[in-house]
Amino acid sequence: MAGSVNPARSEWDVIVVGGAPPGETISLYSSQAGLSVALVEQDRVGGECLYWACMPSKALLLPVQARNLAVDLPGMRQLVNGRRVDADAVMARRDEITYHHDDKQSVDVMLSNGVDVLRGRGRLAAPRTVEVSDNGRTREITARAAVVLAPGTDSAMPPIAGLADAKPWRSRDVTNVHEVPRRVVVIGGGIVACEAATWLRGLGVEELTLVFPGERLMAMKEPFAGDLVREAFEADGIVVRTGTPVTAVARERVDDRGIGRRHGGPVTVTVGEGEQIVADEVLVATGRVPNSREIGLDTVDVATTSRGFVEVDDHMTVPGTDWLYVLGDLNGRALLTHMGKYHARIAGEVIAARAAGRPLDDRPYNPYTDLADRDGAPQVVFCDPEVASVGLTEAEARDRGIAVEMVERDFAGIDGARLAREHYVGRAKLVLDRAGDTLVGATFVGPGVSELLHAATVAVIGRVPVGALRHAVASFPTISEIWLYLLEELRAARSAA
Ligand SMILES: Cc1cc2nc3c(=O)[nH]c(=O)nc-3n(C[C@H](O)[C@H](O)[C@H](O)COP(=O)(O)OP(=O)(O)OC[C@H]3O[C@@H](n4cnc5c(N)ncnc54)[C@H](O)[C@@H]3O)c2cc1C
Ligand SMILES: NC(=O)c1ccc[n+]([C@@H]2O[C@H](COP(=O)([O-])OP(=O)(O)OC[C@H]3O[C@@H](n4cnc5c(N)ncnc54)[C@H](O)[C@@H]3O)[C@@H](O)[C@H]2O)c1
């Protein structure tokens, strides 16, 4: 049976609050299990990911990567002739990819799968009870089996003097950029900062500076990742100021003309010992704040962590309850869409089993238990070079007390890399657990390495022995042959030891 929008009923089996991909996935899973589902969304079904985060950012990045590839390939370089991307055409395609912020297609998928969509803001009011407010009207609905929270995060605003008053750009502005400023200062050196710097420069920003107090870009990755990205940024004219706190931001004329448009006149960013950088726009990319404050957790006696996340067990259930589930960014396990969807598939199986009175089993690789977060979530950062990683870094593996063995090399001498670009720069590292002789982490940095990652993810999650990996032959001449070279180096190191 098809679902409907805002139906006049008050009870469902499952109520989901937040309609990004994790919320959509759990809705579909529950509906397919024969449960009635209401998806409560205050804005657009599709969420931050579809309209403001993953999808628009990648729509801006892929043409920039393609242009950079062309510039490094004789025969193509002459066609590009020094030009950057056509910013207007790239932004227009970005708008196509985000369906011009119309959620009709996402809503239709829900309705055609029997999910009811409730437009409004959801808030827990009591166990199994959600209050939905829309345009001044409030109604209470109840769930027989489960309430699932997936309200996501918002961009953080650090307490830097004058920053909030200067109305800086936030992640939504930079992904939905409509006016490309000439000069930009990015506060932050993490994932959003690195991806945004890549597309801003690609779209034509002339003076671009990243400023942050840490030592390295993307400090949570293997150190060579941030180093190689920094080298590429600097070669492209981007200034990277590490170890530099921002102490104040000032903007005389604030005139916020909307998302992705200039928010006023020039901005003065004071860094370090008082040095001033003047820009046309400042972007804050200093992390995320969970949307946990106004969703009624207090009404059901659930506390958040000091950073505002809601802890769940490996069945995505809030401890002490058998009806409250938290998915996506809000549980703080891995702030990634694919991990949020994975959480949703786990919770979907758990809710269906509990509703049918079936026990959850504890067999290896059972569908009810989060395994991937413990072993390390995969992630691709789509700057140029790309950074693709899964599992543990060497530092994380050592912290866990694993007896580690490493092998690391660049892509030099690999024919696939030599073919891919005239000047292919990249590096890869495997982190192995000596005891089990299995892979526990892998990091690849280089153009096009995103497609290498899933093989590593399969090896880490499947605990594939190194001896078996040697029989997984990479095709010639692809950059996947990095696996062969890494394993040969490992063999040589072991025989020399
Ligand atoms: C710039 C940027 C780029 C990114 N790129 C990637 C990427 O390439 N790959 C990747 O895996 N991850 C990426 N991420 C991370 C990814 O966007 C998040 O991990 C993902 O969106 C989290 O999904 P979520 O369901 O937790 O919440 P969100 O996507 O934040 O969605 C939450 C939804 O809940 C709704 N909502 C909130 N409160 C309520 C309420 N009280 N009632 C009703 N509805 C409510 C919101 O309107 C929204 O629709 C990126 C993030 C950013 C900022
Ligand atoms: N391709 C992807 O998978 C992708 C893309 C974008 C975002 N994301 C997700 O979104 C999340 C948020 O990304 P993010 O970049 O906002 O956070 P982040 O945690 O990756 O980086 C935050 C950065 O801000 C810096 N910082 C913190 N406080 C600061 C201050 N006061 N002044 C200056 N710098 C400061 C930190 O040193 C760090 O460099 C990430 O967890 C990531 O997983 C994923």
Final residue of a domain: which of 259, 287, 315?
287
Return the ligand 2 atom nearest residue 189 CA.
39
Both structure tokens of 212:
């942050």
> Do 268 and 216 sit in the same domain of this protein?
yes
Give residue for tokens 């024919």.
415
Closest residue by CA, ligand 2 atom 1: 381
> Do 236 and 271 sit in the same domain of this protein?
yes
Task: Give the angle 331-461-357 at the CA atoms, nearest 5°.
Answer: 60
CATH number of the domain that residue 229 is part of: 3.50.50.60
Final residue of a domain: which of 287, 314, 330?
287
Question: What ipTM score was computed for the predicted complex, to two decimals?
Answer: 0.98
Residue 296 maps to a domain: yes
> Do 324 and 199 sit in the same domain of this protein?
no
- Does any ligand 2 atom lie closer than 6 A to the CB of residue 323? no
> Do 229 and 334 sit in the same domain of this protein?
no
- Does any ligand 1 atom lie closer than 6 A to the CB of residue 151? yes
> Do 196 and 110 sit in the same domain of this protein?
no
16: domain range? 11-46+103-154+289-371
* Identity of residue 153: T
> Do 406 and 326 sit in the same domain of this protein?
no
CATH number of the domain that residue 397 is part of: 3.30.390.30
Return the ligand 2 atom nearest residue 219 CA.
39
Return the ligand 2 atom nearest residue 159 CA.
31
Whole-Å CA distances, 65 to 69, 447, 469, 480: 6, 8, 30, 19
Q: How far is the CA of 153 from the centre of ligand 1 (A)?
A: 6
The ligand that comes nearest to the alpha carbon of residue 390 is 2
Number of domains in the chain: 3
> Do 470 and 411 sit in the same domain of this protein?
yes
Alpha carbon distance 283, 273 (integer Å): 21
Final residue of a domain: which of 233, 256, 287?
287
Residue 183 maps to a domain: yes
Instruction: Indicate whether this model's pTM tops 0.80.
Output: yes
- Does any ligand 2 atom lie closer than 6 A to the CB of residue 196? no
- Does any ligand 2 atom lie closer than 6 A to the CB of residue 285? yes
Q: Where are the alpha helices (DSSP H) in 204-284?
A: 223-235
The answer to whether 248 and 273 have CB atoms below 8 angstroms apart is no
Give residue for tokens 């977060």.
373
Spell 58-94 as b/e; 16+ CB within 10 A means b: bbbbebbbebbbbbbbeeeeeebeeebbebeebbeeb
pLDDT (tens digit, 0 to 9) for every residue of the chain, 497 residues total? 799 999 999 999 999 999 999 999 999 999 999 999 999 999 999 999 999 999 999 999 999 999 999 999 999 999 999 899 999 999 999 999 999 999 999 999 999 999 999 999 999 999 999 999 999 999 999 999 999 999 999 999 999 999 999 999 999 999 999 999 999 999 999 999 999 999 999 999 999 999 999 999 999 999 999 999 999 999 999 999 999 999 999 999 999 999 999 999 999 999 988 999 999 999 999 999 999 999 999 999 999 999 999 999 999 999 999 999 999 999 999 999 999 999 999 999 999 999 999 999 889 999 999 999 998 899 999 999 999 999 999 999 999 999 999 999 999 999 999 999 999 999 999 999 999 999 999 999 999 999 999 999 999 999 999 999 999 999 999 999 999 999 999 999 999 98
Q: How far is the CA of 287 from the centre of ligand 2 (A)?
A: 4
The answer to whether 52 and 340 have CB atoms below 8 angstroms apart is no
Residue 269 maps to a domain: yes
> Do 423 and 469 sit in the same domain of this protein?
yes
> Do 109 and 203 sit in the same domain of this protein?
no
> Do 356 and 464 sit in the same domain of this protein?
no
